[in-house]
Amino acid sequence: MFRLEVRTSTPAWFNLALPLLAIGATLVLCSGLIALAGAGVPDAYGVMFTASLGDSYAITETMVRAAPMIFTGLAVAVAFRAKFWNIGAEGQLLAGAVASCFVGAIPMPGPLAMVLMAVAGAAAGAAVALVPATLRVKFKVDDVVSSLLLNSVIYYALMALIEGPWKDSFSGYPISPPIEDSANFPVLIEGTRLHLGVIVALLAAPLIWFLIVRTTLGFRIRVTGENPEAARYGGIHVERVLISTALLSGALAGLAGVGEVGGVHFQVMSDISPGYGYSGIVVAMLARLNPLGVVPAAIFLAAVMTGAEAMSRATGVPAFLSDVIQGTALLAMLVALLFTAYRIRRVGVAR
Amino acid sequence: MSAVFEQIFQVGFLAAIIRIATPLAFATLGEMFSERAGVLNLGIEGIMLLSAMTGFTAASLSGSLWLGVLAAVLTGMLMGALHALFTVVLGLSQHVCGIGVTLFSSGLAYFLYRLIFGQQSVPPNINGFQTLPIPILSDIPVLGPAVFNQFALVYMAILAIPLAAFILYRTPWGLSVRMVGENPRAADSAGVSVIATRFQAVVLGGALMGLAGAFLSMAQFNAFTFGVVSGRGWVAIALVVFGRWDPWRSAGAALLFAFVDALQLRMQASGLGHIPYEAFLMLPFIFTIVAMAVMSRNAVAPSALLKPFRREER
């Protein structure tokens, strides 16, 4: 006989084993779709791997795509640690993109422009995240729904801007005017798109890890998430911690938008984010909410996205496979997480 | 301003409201059933998209629209069952699973559509549902042609509202749904299977979301495009809150939203509006967020919403 038992602690190797298990299960499940499309499974995954991580140029492209997901992944990880259910990283990213585009279009010395773009983008993202947090703290409004609905509000605000005052009067395209050339983030390796923002994203992860694991604020965030009653009893102002968490989370998501404007698109358009905010949830869950784990998780998703297009050209399997992989990976990870809560134990028949 | 009023009382305008409201009414009722049982289903956006795709594909390949509707409903039920498996049976977090179901279903919809129809410059379309005038009733001035000269699916939506209210408030199963959403512990003591009831409610909700998807791709647009749902699932999430988890109020909220949307479309078309149309599209979301802040004091949301039920944990 087997029985499910509640686990009291989880071994450390689970942090690595569970995401790998989830990713493995995802690739096995999705190979069915590749076969359905009439392509060889090893071929398809092979092309996907080579085109995203096979040579140095491919790696830079993958890193450029990973950068926004590192930021949104961190945003979600920080928020979920405090059990502030921020589903609004998508809207916060868009707000960050719009704010940084405003600032980037003002003529000023390049380095100053870049710093101000980052500040403005982070502030805009934080301001958006403040809404669901305030509503929860002051009015007990469910943060899941309010943060989700704000995504639509911000999206339509962005559309109103690019179809209204920002509209390109010359071409009539709904795109914002470009930012100043001097505000474009410097490219680190000539001939690639690897920009300064990618390095900032990679540095942000250990910084946020340090903040969560080693600082007082991080401790408060963790305690608030794990046991708000105990936190309150221990003298932690839980409401204030939730607000701080929201500001930090929103700022990180806003920075994802800054990187896309300053380093990739140099302007704002309606599809500036192909759902990076929602991908952030996948990244954070795969990382088990560990800021250091966010980096490999984001690189994995970015590699899948970058590789899917090449795979589609080579094998005819629709590139939308990457979207299926993303969704499946999230669901598989959630199931894998059950192993942290329960374990299967053999129950002896007689002693 | 008088021009605006003239527009409102046109038959075409009323008919447009009804047509815009129909998929929202299905989706909102579907989400409401799920939430009344204590399960938030953020998979709605993806479930509607996948159902729109399977419905369109089945109709396109078989030539039968009703077979398409059946396919869409089955798809909705299947994805509802998937969400219920994760959130009800396994007790995983509802919001994260919902996002997972939406990402998975939308990805699958795009993937399968591209696989079946390839990449075409003009998306293939079908001869969708035709209007079906109801004898006598459709002769009533203004109201007749607007309400009783519609697609069969519109009539189904209109009938679904009292039916949903009846099921929820007047049947033993509806009582169980409300119990497991309000106080699962008590329901369990009273001999109601919390897991089974929640599972059934989420699957029923999925079926209604499937009908919403079917309407979009087989009556409203007669084609499947990647933007066929474009946020209507999120609108439904808002409308359920706005309609205070009640079938009548939720349907009323859908009608109100459809009115604003239809007005917005008219103003855009006639060049009357000086306000950007996006401002109108934002309204339901802003209203809902404000409404949540105002309402939370009388706590009308199902008490056990978002809380998984495990029998052994007391």
**Cβ-based contacts of A164 with chain B (< 8 Å):** 276
Q: What is the pLDDT of residues A190-231, one digit of tens each?
A: 999 999 999 999 999 999 999 999 999 999 999 999 999 999
What residue in A sits closest to B99 (Cα-Cα)?
A: A278
The residue range of the domain holding B153 is 8-118+143-298
- Coil vs helix vs strand at A241: helix
Asked if A151's CB is within 8 angstroms of B237's CB, the reply is no
Looking at residue B142, its pLDDT comes to 74
Residue found under tokens 């990976």: A329
If you count them, how many residues does chain B have? 314
The distance of A158 to chain B (nearest Cα, Å) reads: 9
Asked if B86's CB is within 8 angstroms of A331's CB, the reply is yes
Looking at residue B312, its pLDDT comes to 59
**Cβ-based contacts of B235 with chain A (< 8 Å):** 152
Asked if B301's CB is within 8 angstroms of A149's CB, the reply is no
Q: What is the DSSP letter of A3?
A: E
Looking at residue B21, its pLDDT comes to 96
Distance in angstroms (rounded) separating the CA atoms of residues B149 and B127 = 18
Size of interface A-B (CB pairs under 8 A): 138
Asked if B288's CB is within 8 angstroms of A149's CB, the reply is yes
Q: How is chain A split among helix, strand and coil, in percent rounded to 5?
A: 70, 5, 25
Burial class (CB in 10 A: 0-12, 13-18, 19+), B198: buried
The distance of B83 to chain A (nearest Cα, Å) reads: 10
**Cβ-based contacts of B293 with chain A (< 8 Å):** 135, 138-139, 141
Looking at residue B293, its pLDDT comes to 83
Looking at residue B314, its pLDDT comes to 42
Q: Delimit the domains of chain A by residue range.
A: 2-346
Q: Which of A263, A244, A237, A249 is nearest to A291 (CA)?
A: A249
Residue found under tokens 């090893």: A42
Looking at residue A15, its pLDDT comes to 78
Site from B230, B244, B289 to mutate, A interface, most A CB atoms within 10 angstroms? B289
A 10 A CB-CB count for A317 gives: 28
- Coil vs helix vs strand at A237: coil
Residue A286 · residue A76 · CB < 8 Å: no
Q: What does each of the 314 residues of chain B score in pLDDT, given as a tens digit?
A: 455 555 556 778 888 999 999 999 999 999 999 999 999 999 999 999 999 999 999 999 999 999 999 999 999 999 999 999 999 999 999 999 999 999 999 999 999 999 999 888 888 889 889 888 888 888 887 777 778 888 999 999 999 999 999 999 999 999 999 999 999 999 999 999 999 999 999 999 999 999 999 999 999 999 998 889 988 999 999 899 888 899 999 999 999 889 888 887 777 777 665 677 888 888 878 888 888 888 765 557 888 888 888 765 54
What distances in angstroms separate CA A309 from CA A191, A305, A312, A322, B159, one per listed residue?
Answer: 20, 7, 5, 9, 46
**Mean pLDDT across the stretch A53-72?**
96
The dihedrals phi and psi of B133, each to the nearest 5 degrees, come to -65, 135
What residue in B sits closest to A38 (Cα-Cα)?
A: B115
In a domain, B2, yes or no: no
Q: Which of A220, A227, A256, A231 is nearest to A129 (CA)?
A: A256
Asked if A324's CB is within 8 angstroms of B104's CB, the reply is yes
Share of chain A above pLDDT 70, in %: 96
Q: Which of B84, B38, B29, B78 is nearest to B177 (CA)?
A: B38
Asked if A159's CB is within 8 angstroms of B234's CB, the reply is no
In a domain, B307, yes or no: no
Distance in angstroms (rounded) separating the CA atoms of residues B270 and A187 = 47
- Assign domain A2-346 to a CATH class: mainly alpha
What distances in angstroms separate CA A1 from CA A346, A348, A349, B310, one per listed residue?
Answer: 6, 7, 7, 21
Mean pLDDT for chain A overall: 92
**Cβ-based contacts of A160 with chain B (< 8 Å):** 276, 278-279
**Mean pLDDT across the stretch A221-246?**
93
* DSSP-assigned letters across all residues of B226-253: TTSSTTHHHHHHHHHHHTTT-HHHHHHH
- Coil vs helix vs strand at B93: coil
- The residues that bridge with A3 in the sheet, in sequence order, are A345
Distance in angstroms (rounded) separating the CA atoms of residues B111 and B124 = 16
Residue B226 · residue B16 · CB < 8 Å: no
**Cβ-based contacts of A282 with chain B (< 8 Å):** 100, 103
Asked if A131's CB is within 8 angstroms of B286's CB, the reply is no
Burial class (CB in 10 A: 0-12, 13-18, 19+), B101: buried
pLDDT: which is higher, A238 or B292: A238
The distance of A266 to chain B (nearest Cα, Å) reads: 24
Tokens of A91: 């809207």
Q: Which of A248, A125, A261, A259 is nearest to A200 (CA)?
A: A259
Asked if A87's CB is within 8 angstroms of B86's CB, the reply is no
Q: Which residues of A112-133 are buried (b: 16+ CB within 10 A; e: fewer)?
A: ebbebbbbbbbbbbbbbbebbb
Amino acid (1-letter code) at residue A213: V
The distance of A85 to chain B (nearest Cα, Å) reads: 8
**Cβ-based contacts of A321 with chain B (< 8 Å):** 107, 111
**Candidate from A145, A331, A334 with C-beta closest to B237:** A145
Asked if B296's CB is within 8 angstroms of A323's CB, the reply is no
What residue in B sits closest to A331 (Cα-Cα)?
A: B100
With a CB cutoff of 8 Å and minimum separation 6, the contacts of A337 are A18, A285, A288, B92
Q: What is the DSSP letter of B296?
A: G
Asked if B106's CB is within 8 angstroms of A149's CB, the reply is no
The distance of B88 to chain A (nearest Cα, Å) reads: 13
Is 50 exceeded by the pLDDT of residue A351? no
The distance of B206 to chain A (nearest Cα, Å) reads: 18
Q: Which of B108, B130, B93 is nearest to A334 (CA)?
A: B93
Asked if A146's CB is within 8 angstroms of B99's CB, the reply is no
Interhelix angle B194-215/B44-62, rounded to 10 degrees, is 60
**Mean pLDDT across the stretch A66-86?**
97
Asked if A327's CB is within 8 angstroms of B103's CB, the reply is yes
In a domain, B303, yes or no: no
Q: What is the DSSP letter of A6?
A: E
Burial class (CB in 10 A: 0-12, 13-18, 19+), B211: buried
The distance of B269 to chain A (nearest Cα, Å) reads: 15
Classify the phi-psi angles of B275: left when phi > 0, otherwise alpha if psi is within -120 to 50, otherwise beta.
beta
The dihedrals phi and psi of B222, each to the nearest 5 degrees, come to 55, 25
Q: How is chain B split among helix, strand and coil, in percent rounded to 5?
A: 75, 0, 25
Asked if B90's CB is within 8 angstroms of A142's CB, the reply is no
pLDDT: which is higher, A173 or B116: B116
Looking at residue A1, its pLDDT comes to 62
Residue found under tokens 């090449």: A310
In a domain, B136, yes or no: no
**Candidate from B104, B115, B306 with C-beta closest to A328:** B104
In a domain, B308, yes or no: no
What residue in B sits closest to A154 (Cα-Cα)?
A: B282
pLDDT: which is higher, B20 or A168: B20
A 10 A CB-CB count for A38 gives: 10
The distance of B137 to chain A (nearest Cα, Å) reads: 39
Asked if B285's CB is within 8 angstroms of A325's CB, the reply is no
Distance in angstroms (rounded) separating the CA atoms of residues B195 and B45 = 24
Asked if B276's CB is within 8 angstroms of A160's CB, the reply is yes
The distance of A303 to chain B (nearest Cα, Å) reads: 17
- The residues that bridge with A345 in the sheet, in sequence order, are A3
Asked if A164's CB is within 8 angstroms of B292's CB, the reply is no
Looking at residue A347, its pLDDT comes to 67
Distance in angstroms (rounded) separating the CA atoms of residues B64 and B67 = 5
In a domain, B310, yes or no: no
Asked if A320's CB is within 8 angstroms of B276's CB, the reply is no
Query: How many structural domains are present in chain B?
Result: 1
In a domain, B132, yes or no: no
Question: Which CATH number characterizes residue B263's domain?
Answer: 1.10.3470
Q: Where are the beta strands (DSSP E) in B137-292?
A: 149-150
Residue A74 · residue A273 · CB < 8 Å: no
Looking at residue B277, its pLDDT comes to 80
Looking at residue A89, its pLDDT comes to 97
Q: What is the pLDDT of residues A103-135, one digit of tens each?
A: 999 999 999 999 999 999 999 999 999 999 999
Looking at residue B138, its pLDDT comes to 80
First-last CA distance in chain B:
60
Asked if A149's CB is within 8 angstroms of B282's CB, the reply is no
Question: Residue A109 half-sphere exposure, CB side, CA atoms within 13 Å?
Answer: 2
